[in-house]
Amino acid sequence: MELLTTKLANKYNIDPWHLLAIAILLIAILGLKFVILVGLVLLYFYTGQKIFLFLSVLYLILYYLNHK
């Protein structure tokens, strides 16, 4: 089983290390909370499994309730 980054890198012809660097920059700039949300949404679009969409909506609701 290939890693998600390897599949994305092969699909869009990008070096996997560049994807890792982009992920690290996103964590540094946006903070971990938004990177988790973006990751869940990307997993939903990549796999098509609705559990990731449900988890991302649940994450947004919990984030909103926590920072209300």
pLDDT at 59: 84
pLDDT at 1: 44
Distances (CA, A) of 48 to 4, 41, 42, 44, 55: 14, 10, 10, 5, 13
**Helix intervals (H) in the chain:** 4-12, 16-30, 32-47, 50-66
pLDDT at 5: 66
Stretches where the chain sits below pLDDT 50 are 1
pLDDT at 38: 79
pLDDT at 23: 72
